[in-house]
Amino acid sequence: MIVKQLSVFLENKLGRLHEVLDILAKNDVNIVALSLADSSDYGMLRMMVSDPEKGREKLRENEFAAKLTDVLCIGVDHAVGSLSQAMGQLSREEVDVEYMYAFANGSQAAAVMKCSDPQKAINVLEKGGFQIYQEKDVYLKYAGE
């Protein structure tokens, strides 16, 4: 239930984001969700894509620093307090969330998160009734396949 996120280290320079997105598009890698954090000199682009391994390979071929990172992707109801409930469960069980981003996912939202203890997070969230997405749910279903 751990999924692979494509992470790319980017120079904070005009056109670099477009270069990454263009490489993925030209290689038929669909972006399902993304998050871009930056500083004055660099950015960290984190993406859920239809084929993480292929995306990493094609970006590396074009001299981008790309890696795969283990993350969780959970379903969260479109209801007030749903995400708070999930975070509360993790906090009570002392599972740290290092970062998170979310995207719309049909009748639910999906939250992608990197946790200090992924397996413990899965156990806690499943026990709390949250759906943990598998690779096929994240990579393929929402990539139109």
> How much is the average pLDDT of 73-96?
92
For the ranges 54-58, 94-98, 132-136, which has the lowest average pLDDT?
A: 132-136
Q: How confident is the model at residue 41 (pLDDT cuts 50, 70, 90)?
A: confident
Mean confidence (pLDDT) of the chain: 90
For the ranges 3-17, 71-85, 128-142, which has the lowest average pLDDT?
A: 128-142
- pLDDT, tens digit (0-9, with 9 covering 90-100), for 97-139: 999 998 876 677 889 999 999 999 999 999 999 999 988 887 7
Residue 76: strand pairing partners: 109
Query: Rounded to the nearest 5°, which phi and psi values hold at 81?
Result: 90, -5
Distances in Å between the Cα of 84 and the Cα atoms of 78, 80, 143 are: 12, 8, 28
By C-alpha distance, which of 109, 124, 116, 36 is closest to 73? 109
